């Protein structure tokens, strides 16, 4: 299957080799950042190298023979090159290395890892400030997995490097750092070409299940913005799920059954057996109304919606950045499951909206929606710019979120072939 590479290891007779690499914390993920010129020219040859480097070559769940951290959020790779495309600074390919099997997945993007691309590019000299004393720099990053563009605004030190220090914090990471503004430009249709690939803003998804007595139905929105996501109204989940812990085998089995059924509805796989081979996309997230409470933060009323996302067969400890982008878009368009779940709070939607006029010769109205999401590790702000088109498929102009990043070590990573 395109984008999926499985490798059979022969480590016992292998030779130790190394390539230059940087280990970074990017958002709430950690992974290797590698120059593309240090890897083989064909992406088909990357899998054995990266599997060995991360420690998954022998399907070791602990990744003890590599630098991976034995979770999906700490078993990632960003491959970066200086772009040859006009108006783009660097190209970035994301590789999800399975922490429990010898498989890599390049079918989707990772927004958290993307937040480290700008800092890496600046520190490695792939981009440079345009003037002396410049304090911030916009870096245009093209994601090769989804063929989409994002703009990262990073802070710059007096000597032209990435400025890590600052007072901004993100949920799931202790301490503070400088904020990195991540603006996803026209993120609709990352894998399917459409915001609503099935043509419906929401639908009843029927799922055949080995974990429930009979097939079950959930209310869901299948949305593709930065990554394809299946957003499910938690209240419609089967009783078997609601009586189990989210990390139990029954719950995770039900989530996987929803994911593969959704993959077929998305058109990403012809049938469920094929969908089960691609674990990274689409992703599943359960939605429920945010708590109504007085809050001292800028939003004033607490989170607009609460979300529990899943990644590579496990509950996500926070929320994928691409999930925040996709959920922000879903919250901003009437008729989606996210829109309706948010309305269950009984709050005034228009406290979120500001309108502005474009500066283009043909003036059109834009609306900016600001949302506050709660995930298992805390809160996340999302800002969505919509152009007021009659067709919502064309309305999502940009979705912005903030992350932080830190360079942890640099040198050579070893692998065996």
HEC string of 178-238 equals CCEEEEEECCECCCCCCCCCCCCCCEEEEECCCCCCCCEEEEEEEEEECCEEEEEEHHHCC
Q: How far apart are CA 48 and CA 5, in angstroms?
A: 9
Helical residues (DSSP H) of 115-162, grouped into ranges: 117-123
Average predicted confidence (pLDDT) for the chain: 90
Q: Kindly report, residue by residue over 12-23, the tens digit of the pLDDT.
A: 567 899 999 999
pLDDT at residue 44 greater than cutoff 60: yes
User: Dihedrals φ, ψ of 135, to 5°?
Assistant: -95, -25
pLDDT of residue 352: 58
Q: How many C-beta atoms lie closer than 10 Å to residue 183's C-beta?
A: 20
**β-pair type (396-403, 378-387):** antiparallel
pLDDT at residue 350 greater than cutoff 80: no
The mean pLDDT value for 287-308 works out to 71
DSSP assignment, residue 302? -
Answer yes or no: are the C-beta atoms of 352 and 345 closer than 8 Å.
Answer: no
Q: Kindly report, residue by residue over 127-156, the tens digit of the pLDDT.
A: 999 888 899 999 999 999 999 999 999 999
pLDDT at residue 108 greater than cutoff 90: no
DSSP assignment, residue 385? E
pLDDT at residue 177 greater than cutoff 50: yes
**Among 189, 279, 227, 258, residue whose Cα is nearest residue 112:** 227
pLDDT at residue 332 greater than cutoff 80: yes
The mean pLDDT value for 306-313 works out to 93
The mean pLDDT value for 192-214 works out to 94
pLDDT of residue 359: 44
Q: Which neighbouring-strand residues pair with 367?
A: 355, 386
User: Dihedrals φ, ψ of 325, to 5°?
Assistant: -65, -50
**Among 263, 386, 259, 391, residue whose Cα is nearest residue 328:** 386
Percent of the chain topping pLDDT 90: 77
- For 3, the enclosing helix (H) or strand (E) is none
pLDDT of residue 32: 98
Q: Kindly report, residue by residue over 234-281, the tens digit of the pLDDT.
A: 999 999 999 999 999 999 999 999 999 999 999 999 888 888 888 888
Q: How far apart are CA 106 and CA 279, in angstroms?
A: 11
Q: Which neighbouring-strand residues pair with 403?
A: 180
Q: How far apart are CA 228 and CA 222, in angstroms?
A: 7
Q: How far apart are CA 151 and CA 140, in angstroms?
A: 5
DSSP assignment, residue 387? E
**β-pair type (90-97, 148-155):** unpaired
For the full predicted model, state whether its pTM sits above 0.75: yes
Q: Which neighbouring-strand residues pair with 308?
A: 286
> Can you list the domains of the chain with their CATH numbers?
16-163 (3.10.310.10), 203-400 (3.10.310.10)
Answer yes or no: are the C-beta atoms of 371 and 384 closer than 8 Å.
Answer: yes
Higher pLDDT, 2 or 315: 315
**Among 113, 124, 37, 135, residue whose Cα is nearest residue 89:** 124
Q: How many C-beta atoms lie closer than 10 Å to residue 250's C-beta?
A: 17
pLDDT at residue 3 greater than cutoff 90: no
pLDDT at residue 216 greater than cutoff 90: yes
Confidence band for 89, pLDDT divided at 50, 70 and 90: very high
C-alpha 121, offset from chain centre: 20
pLDDT at residue 46 greater than cutoff 90: yes
* E runs forming strands in 48-161: 76-82, 90-97, 103-105, 136-143, 148-155
Q: CA geometry: angle at 255 spanning 252 and 258, to 5°?
A: 155
The mean pLDDT value for 296-305 works out to 64
pLDDT of residue 408: 98
């Amino acid at each position: 299957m395109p984008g999926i590479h499985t490798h059979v290891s022969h480590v016992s007779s292998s030779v130790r080799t190394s390539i230059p690499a940087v280990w970074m914390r990017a958002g709430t993920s950690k992974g290797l950042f590698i120059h593309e010129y240090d890897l083989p020219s064909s992406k088909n040859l990357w899998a054995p190298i990266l599997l060995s480097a991360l420690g998954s070559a022998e399907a070791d769940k602990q990744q003890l023979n590599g630098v991976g951290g034995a979770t999906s959020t700490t078993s990632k790779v960003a491959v970066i090159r200086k772009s040859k495309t006009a108006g783009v600074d660097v190209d970035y390919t994301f590789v999800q290395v399975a922490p429990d099997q010898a498989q890599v997945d390049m079918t989707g993007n990772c927004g958290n890892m993307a937040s480290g691309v700008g800092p890496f590019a600046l520190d490695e000299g792939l981009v440079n400030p345009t003037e002396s004393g410049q304090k911030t720099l916009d870096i245009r990053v093209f994601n090769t997995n989804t063929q989409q563009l994002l703009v990262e605004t990073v802070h710059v030190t007096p000597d032209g490097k990435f400025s890590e220090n600052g007072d901004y914090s993100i949920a799931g990471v202790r301490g503070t750092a400088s904020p990195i503004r991540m603006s996803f430009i026209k993120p609709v249709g990352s894998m399917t070409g459409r915001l609503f690939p099935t043509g419906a803003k929401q639908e009843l998804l029927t799922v055949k299940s080995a974990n429930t007595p009979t097939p079950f139905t959930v209310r869901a929105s299948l949305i593709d913005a930065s990554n394809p996501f299946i957003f499910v109204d938690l209240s419609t989940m089967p009783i078997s799920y609601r009586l189990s812990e989210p990390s139990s085998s029954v719950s995770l089995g039900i989530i996987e059954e929803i994911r593969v059924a959704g993959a077929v509805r998305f058109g990403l796989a012809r049938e469920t057996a094929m969908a089960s081979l691609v674990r990274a996309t689409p992703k599943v997230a359960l939605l429920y109304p945010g708590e109504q409470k007085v809050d001292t933060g800028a939003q004033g009323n607490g989170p607009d919606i609460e979300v529990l996302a899943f990644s590579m067969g496990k509950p996500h400890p926070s929320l994928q950045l691409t999930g925040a982008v996709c959920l922000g878009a879903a919250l901003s368009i009437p008729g989606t499951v996210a829109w309706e779940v948010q309305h269950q709070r009984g709050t005034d939607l228009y406290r979120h909206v500001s309108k502005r006029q474009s500066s283009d010769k043909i003036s059109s109205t834009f609306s900016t929606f600001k949302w506050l999401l709660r995930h298992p590790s805390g809160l996340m702000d999302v800002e969505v710019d919509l152009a007021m088109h009659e067709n919502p498929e064309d309305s999502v102009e940009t979705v912005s979120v903030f992350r932080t990043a830190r360079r942890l070590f640099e040198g050579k990573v070893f692998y065996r072939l």
